Amino acid sequence: MNAEYAEGLRQNLPRAADLRSLLNMGAATFQPENETKASRLFKEAMVYPAILSLQKREQGTEDDAPPFPAVRLMPRTINKHPEDALKQIRSVYDDLRAGKQVTLDELGDATLIEAPKHGDYSAGRRDFTHAGWYVMPEAERQVFEKLDTVGRQVDPEVRDAMTSAGVPTAAEPYRRLKTYTATVSGGFQGVATGLDGVLVLRQVGQSADGKLLTLIPRGGGESVTIEKDALRPFLFGKDVQRWHVDWKNWWVVFPYMETDTGFKLMPTEQYREHKVEAKGRGKGKSKEQAEYRRVFAGYPEDLPNLEKLYPHLWAYLTTNEKALRGRENGRYKIGKADEWRWYDLARPQGLEASAGAKLVLQLLSSSINAALDTKGHFFQAGGKGGGAYGVSLSKTETLDSFACLIAGKASDFFIKLTGTVYSGGYYSYSDAHIRNLPIPQASPEQRKRLSELSKALTTKTGELRETEAKVDGFPESANEERRAAGKLPDLAPLSEVARLHNLAQNLDGSKLEDAGEALVGQLPGQATLKLGNGAITLSKEHAELVRAVLDVRGKMTLVEFSELRVPESRREVQGYLNSLAQWKKRIAELGAEIETLEGELNDVVYDLYDLSAEERQVIEDFLARY
């Protein structure tokens, strides 16, 4: 139980009732032998399923609540009928109450929790915290405590800085992530447009000078032209990978001007002098007495209007004016208070933080996917499917070392113990779950090493993704490479260099086999490949290429397959196959290098928390299961 909104429930339940048992089902699903698909116990409940058994407390009962059994299921598919699993859990409850040793094997972990005494949490303080009720075995508890102890310390450096700057300290600067961020909390949400179909677009081309982009709106329709300066690159959650931002040419409309005090909405001719009723002082007065303020007051007089600076964007916006004014239940319709900002993003949040150097995290993921972003990508967050979150630091020079701290296994352990798991074993890496990450003190040497590691991991992962894309795009990627070098050989569609007999409409590469014996009509130096009931006859070199393509792609349609453009010359084909082999070799090398770097990263971070070899093993074992 760790959702923010359940805090009151957690506070009051132990006062009103004795806790009998707690089953944290997490994201476990059930698939008995005779079922073809896994299902959740509560089909409609995507999140937070837990079964809490309580007994109403008699009036006047003393503080003598007994300890109670708690079970934590792994976020996995359990090969049992839910009833059988529950039966097993009930027997484990009995064993725990009887003080026996228990094991749940593939179901998860079981533990006996000391019950809180009602009125205060003195008896169960370890388990019943402000942030949540945490169910964990003793070994994990000790490691967790060690990490959390760091977060309960105050950072004297930050406190001194705050005092000398005269900042009123509402809260002590504990060594937690939120202390070191430039935003109010730990992570920050990105913008919400209110209408992605219009305000988010995919680039399909650009002008010669690169100042105008050709784009297709996310909602579909004809392509449009918009000034590049009036757009910002846009990410979706799945584009944020570990150490890599895989931006897919998406842009978001950005009608803002940068000023000393941050980004401001650009004015338009129509609303430049527009006035709205001032809130606060004028409230409750009659229409005549009400006070008004100019919405674009304080803007420099020589600041051009939006339509003048970005005529292409303006044309696009006015085409969609009706839809844009209708966003958020007509909040921008003429006559409403917000009518003057109908072309604004519905939630222009965190603009400065998004534009600057930051970390981006995939919001919903089975382990931490964090990447450094210095290119000012904007992103969206929210919804159960994911999105991205940003972390912007007060000291941007520490971004590299924070990236390692956040991406390390120690953080994942902390987040998974205190956070929320969704169906499919996806954990939430939203602000609520990362802002309290303990941030240990690091020496300048350690910080330098972490910084080097994050830079190396970013570079290597970038190269890995690039090389993987080449392999996935073979043979077009090889064509592309040779075209760039000015050495493009003569190409022909595969249907011309090979004879295709009786192939199915959809090809399954995994079913490819050698025909073995030469077929009737086959020439010397040729090979025949069998695929289902069909066959492909071609040169031995081209056969190798076909084998490689089908191996990489797995499944493809007959049309795609026969239209693949490949070199006519056998010697060139051999060159293509050599390129592919080199790329694959490089992928293996990079994978190994990244693994080594990740290992070192974890070691440095474990050192910062002063964890012993056994304690590190506890974390590794936990992460292998959860």
Partner DNA sequence: TCCGCACCCGCTATCCTGAG
Partner DNA sequence: CTCAGGATAGCGGGTGCGGA
Element (H, E) at 594: helix 570-608
Residue 543 touches DNA, criterion: CB under 7 A: no
3-state secondary structure of 453: helix
Q: Please tell me the total number of residues recorded for the chain in this structure.
A: 626
From the list 97-105, 313-321, 340-348, 583-591, the region that binds DNA by CB under 7 A is: 340-348
How many positions of this chain bind DNA (CB under 7 A)? 55
Residue 205 touches DNA, criterion: CB under 7 A: no
Rounded distance, CA 133 to CA 7, Å?
10
Cis amide prior to 475 (ω within 30 degrees): yes
Contact 577, 545 (CB under 8 A): yes
CB-side neighbour CA atoms (13 Å) of 570? 9
Residue 364 or 601: the one with the smaller Cβ distance to DNA is 364
Residue 20 or 325: the one with the smaller Cβ distance to DNA is 325
Residue 185 or 526: the one with the smaller Cβ distance to DNA is 185
Residue 28 or 618: the one with the smaller Cβ distance to DNA is 28
Instruction: Report CA 460 to chain centroid distance, whole Å.
Output: 20
30 CB neighbour count, 10 Å cutoff:
20
Strand partners, 297: none
Give the per-residue SS3 of 525-584.
Answer: CEEEEEECCEEEEEEHHHHHHHHHHHHHHCEEEHHHHHHCEEECCHHHHHHHHHHHHHHH
User: Please, what is the minimum distance in Å from the beta carbon of residue 397 to DNA?
Assistant: 21
Contact 600, 452 (CB under 8 A): no
Residue 415 or 601: the one with the smaller Cβ distance to DNA is 415
Residue 181 or 537: the one with the smaller Cβ distance to DNA is 181
Residue 382 touches DNA, criterion: CB under 7 A: yes
User: Please, what is the minimum distance in Å from the beta carbon of residue 34 to DNA?
Assistant: 12
3-state secondary structure of 593: helix
Residue 320 touches DNA, criterion: CB under 7 A: no
User: Please, what is the minimum distance in Å from the beta carbon of residue 297 to DNA?
Assistant: 12
- Of positions 88, 149, 185, 367, contacts DNA by CB under 7 A: 185
User: Please, what is the minimum distance in Å from the beta carbon of residue 195 to DNA?
Assistant: 4
User: Please, what is the minimum distance in Å from the beta carbon of residue 479 to DNA?
Assistant: 24
Interaction residues for DNA, span 12-41 (CB under 7 A):
36-39
Residue 562 touches DNA, criterion: CB under 7 A: no
- Of positions 129, 153, 423, 562, contacts DNA by CB under 7 A: 423
- Of positions 385, 493, 591, 599, contacts DNA by CB under 7 A: 385
Contact 210, 226 (CB under 8 A): no
Residue 514 or 620: the one with the smaller Cβ distance to DNA is 514
Contact 213, 251 (CB under 8 A): yes
- Of positions 72, 118, 175, 218, contacts DNA by CB under 7 A: 218
User: Please, what is the minimum distance in Å from the beta carbon of residue 214 to DNA?
Assistant: 20
Residue 283 touches DNA, criterion: CB under 7 A: no
* Interacting residues of 538 by C-beta distance below 8 A, sequence separation 6+: 497, 498, 499, 526, 527, 529, 546
Strand partners, 252: 200, 232
User: Please, what is the minimum distance in Å from the beta carbon of residue 308 to DNA?
Assistant: 23
User: Please, what is the minimum distance in Å from the beta carbon of residue 31 to DNA?
Assistant: 10
Residue 232 touches DNA, criterion: CB under 7 A: no
Q: How far apart are the first and last CA of the chain?
A: 17
- Of positions 15, 152, 211, 279, contacts DNA by CB under 7 A: 279
- Of positions 179, 320, 380, 479, contacts DNA by CB under 7 A: 380
Where are the alpha helices (H) located in 81-137, listed in sequence order?
82-97
Residue 156 or 221: the one with the smaller Cβ distance to DNA is 221
Residue 78, classified by CB atoms within 10 Å of its CB into exposed (0-12), middle (13-18) or buried (19+), is buried
Rounded distance, CA 82 to CA 32, Å?
8
Residue 266 or 364: the one with the smaller Cβ distance to DNA is 364
Signed CA dihedral, 513, 518, 521, 527: sign only:
positive
CB-side neighbour CA atoms (13 Å) of 13? 18
Interaction residues for DNA, span 343-362 (CB under 7 A):
346-351
Letter string b/e over residues 460-470, b meaning 16 or more CB atoms within 10 A of that residue's CB = bbbbbbebbeb
Rounded distance, CA 276 to CA 295, Å?
7
3-state secondary structure of 204: strand
Residue 384 touches DNA, criterion: CB under 7 A: yes
Residue 559 touches DNA, criterion: CB under 7 A: no
3-state secondary structure of 287: coil
Q: In whole angstroms, how far apart are CA 406 and each of 186, 439, 487, 594, 601? A: 12, 9, 45, 17, 11
User: Please, what is the minimum distance in Å from the beta carbon of residue 597 to DNA?
Assistant: 26
* Interacting residues of 235 by C-beta distance below 8 A, sequence separation 6+: 245, 247, 250, 360, 377, 378, 379, 380, 388
Convert residues 107-126 into a mask of x (bound to DNA by CB under 7 A) and - (unbound): --------------------
- Of positions 106, 160, 328, 563, contacts DNA by CB under 7 A: 328
Residue 68 or 378: the one with the smaller Cβ distance to DNA is 378
Residue 504 or 518: the one with the smaller Cβ distance to DNA is 504
- Of positions 49, 116, 124, 194, contacts DNA by CB under 7 A: 194
Residue 141 or 202: the one with the smaller Cβ distance to DNA is 202
Residue 376 touches DNA, criterion: CB under 7 A: no
- Of positions 24, 183, 451, 602, contacts DNA by CB under 7 A: 183
Residue 386 touches DNA, criterion: CB under 7 A: yes
- Of positions 320, 411, 418, 430, contacts DNA by CB under 7 A: 430
Question: Tokens for 142?
Answer: 């000790």
User: Please, what is the minimum distance in Å from the beta carbon of residue 551 to DNA?
Assistant: 17
User: Please, what is the minimum distance in Å from the beta carbon of residue 563 to DNA?
Assistant: 17
Q: Which of 295, 271, 293 is nearest to 280 (CA)?
A: 293
- Of positions 71, 245, 432, 437, contacts DNA by CB under 7 A: 432
Q: Which of 53, 59, 67, 51 is nearest to 117 (CA)?
A: 67
Interaction residues for DNA, span 480-519 (CB under 7 A):
504-506
Question: Tokens for 330?
Answer: 């007509």
Contact 346, 195 (CB under 8 A): yes
Residue 237 touches DNA, criterion: CB under 7 A: yes
From the list 370-378, 381-389, 592-600, 608-616, the region that binds DNA by CB under 7 A is: 381-389
Which chain residues interact with DNA by CB under 7 A? 3-5, 36-39, 47, 183-185, 187-189, 192-197, 200, 218, 236-239, 279, 327-329, 346-351, 364, 380, 382-387, 423-424, 430-432, 435, 504-506, 532-533
